[in-house]
Amino acid sequence: MRALKNHPELCAINTATFGFQVPLTLAIEAIAKAGFGGIAPWRREVEGQDVKALARQMRDAGLKVTGYCRSTYIPASTSAQFKENIADNLKALQDAAALGSDAFVFVVGTLANLISARAQVQEGLGLLSQHAENLGVKLALEPLHPVYAADRSCINLVSQALDMCDEIGSPSVSVIIDAYHVWWDPNIERDVVRGGAAKRIQGFHVSDWLLPVTDTLNNRGMMGDGVIDLKSLRAMVEHAGYNGLVEVEIFSSANWWKRPMDETLQVINDRLGETF
């Protein structure tokens, strides 16, 4: 297990952690200045901007782009809408490549009919996988906590995401392990080992699960403020062979999104190797 203390260069910051208070150009500056090694920007910060200039700024700042967030939901109730979703994702995938991002992050969407939703996700990822290979960007499937099964993701277990990667077969499909989504899973160790052996672990995200449970969308905690045993989970993921950056992604409308960026980065820095 790597020593994180005083090694912010082993961490990336997902810009959602700042609640999109500031333009990406300023976030890049602050993250690099605080010593972090990577960044994961969002489409809302990139689309309509000069993508090449942003790519250059991140590169010049010494930041690796761990992931580009995120996919348009794939499943749809009409085939026309499904096709539109795929086309939209293809465009964003090209931006991910232009940004120099390792991965395009897939939060896949869902339908009331989970069977149909899952089939569409598999088909859609299959359709995009050859493009991803050509562009040298991984499609990074992020299983979300089952609390989102009805409105955000029909993929809720790491094992399920890995099964889907196997079905698709392309080396460009992979999985993100996000602590908030998977910490509770009794099979997580088995599945992380499997993902590592298959070389499919594309990212490792951290935040914390706060008590009491209130808003399950935008009340995630700073590492150490909740119940997740983040160090054990990181040990598991690194033991399985993951040696990429540890990405901090905290959705927190009532707390961290209200604080200045530099304060949030300082707290993350202080907690490196302590609480995660």
Omega into 56 within 30° of 0, i.e. cis? no
Least CB distance to a second copy at residue 24 (A): 29
Region near a second copy per CB under 8 A, out of 53-61, 82-90, 94-102, 155-163: 155-163
- Asked if residue 119 binds a second copy (CB under 8 A), the reply is no
Using CB under 8 A as the binding rule, the residues of this chain from 57 to 86 that contact a second copy are: none
Torsion, Cα 206 210 214 218, to 10 degrees, reads -30
Q: Rounded to whole angstroms, how far apart are CA atoms 237 and 206?
A: 12
x-or-dash string of contact with a second copy, 193-212, rule CB under 8 A: ----------------x-xx
In the chain, DSSP finds a helix count (H) and a strand count (E) of 10, 8
Nearest to 35 by CA among 265, 267, 271: 265
Q: Rounded to whole angstroms, how far apart are CA atoms 94 and 135?
A: 7
CB 35 within 8 A of CB 269: yes
Least CB distance to a second copy at residue 153 (A): 10
| Strands of the sheet with 64-65, listed across from one edge | 64-65, 38-40, 11-14, 246-248, 201-206, 173-178, 138-141, 103-106
- Asked if residue 113 binds a second copy (CB under 8 A), the reply is yes
Question: Among residues 96 and 111, whose Cβ is nearest to a second copy?
Answer: 111
| Of the residues 101, 120, 129, 156, which one makes contact with a second copy according to CB under 8 A | 156
- Asked if residue 166 binds a second copy (CB under 8 A), the reply is no
Question: Among residues 64 and 200, whose Cβ is nearest to a second copy?
Answer: 200
| Of the residues 98, 127, 149, 198, which one makes contact with a second copy according to CB under 8 A | 149
Least CB distance to a second copy at residue 113 (A): 7
Q: What are phi and psi of 58, to 5 degrees?
A: -65, -45
Specify the DSSP element, H or E, that contains 105. Answer: strand 103-106
Least CB distance to a second copy at residue 223 (A): 14
Binding site for a second copy (CB under 8 A): 112-114, 118, 145-151, 156-157, 160, 183-187, 209, 211-213, 216-217, 226-227, 229
